[in-house]
Amino acid sequence: MKCRIPNRLFAISPLLVTAALLAACAGDPEYVKCPELTAPEEGAEAFMRIDDTGEVVNVRLNGVRARCEQVGENGISMDLSIGLKIKRLGADEYPAGVAQINVVGLVAEGDRIVSSPPLIRYKAGFRKGQQMMYPVVEHEVTVTEGQRLILSLVPGL
């Protein structure tokens, strides 16, 4: 017995595929140009201590990537990926430990600070023998048009 597929199924298939693709693309956000994002030279590097051992670690900003989308009439939501370089300093042996990294993001307009959202807290866990790591911290903040974001590491010593 021969199995036959109705010809009208082949005629409808392209329409179904096109409709599915259009439905999937309908909810895309409206991406816009990101506001200015800066980091003062003094805030691009800080020293912290590992909780258990008291070792000193050097933390540096290692690049920031932002994706911005329109929110409401004049709001801009910034999805940030903050790259860090964390290095343990001057130890012969590197036991396991955890260092808490604090990053502050200030929203400024002109020369004045408009708001200071809570600190961005990141806990970096070092394995035994690990000297360096390059984590990425994800964060989201909303600003309005004409404002800018200032990122800075907060020293922990």
- Quick check: is 122 in a domain? yes
Q: Has residue 65 got a pLDDT over 70?
A: yes
Eight-class DSSP state of 31: B
Residue 103 pLDDT grade (very low, low, confident, very high; cuts 50, 70, 90):
very high
Q: What is the pLDDT of residue 45?
A: 94
Q: Has residue 127 got a pLDDT over 80?
A: yes
DSSP result, 91-103 = -SS---EEEEEEE
SS3 145: coil
Q: Has residue 119 got a pLDDT over 80?
A: yes
**Rounded Cα gap, residues 33 and 10, in angstroms:** 43
**What is the per-residue burial (b if ≥16 Cβ within 10 Å, else e) of 133-147?**
beeebebebbbeeeb
Q: What is the pLDDT of residue 22?
A: 56
Q: What is the pLDDT of residue 83?
A: 95
pTM of the model: 0.74
Residues 46-69 have a mean pLDDT of 91
Question: Containing domain of residue 79, as a range?
Answer: 37-154
**Two structure tokens written together for 117:** 């959202």
Average pLDDT, the chain: 84
Q: Which helix or strand (DSSP H or E) is residue 43 part of?
A: none
pLDDT digits (tens, 9 = 90+) for 23-35: 555 567 788 999 9
- Quick check: is 20 in a domain? no
**Rounded Cα gap, residues 124 and 84, in angstroms:** 10
Pairwise pLDDT comparison (16 vs 135), residue with the higher score: 135
Domains: count for the chain: 1
70 CB neighbour count, 10 Å cutoff: 14
- Quick check: is 6 in a domain? no
Residues 20-49 have a mean pLDDT of 81
CATH number at residue 79: 2.60.40
Q: What is the pLDDT of residue 100?
A: 92
- Quick check: is 1 in a domain? no
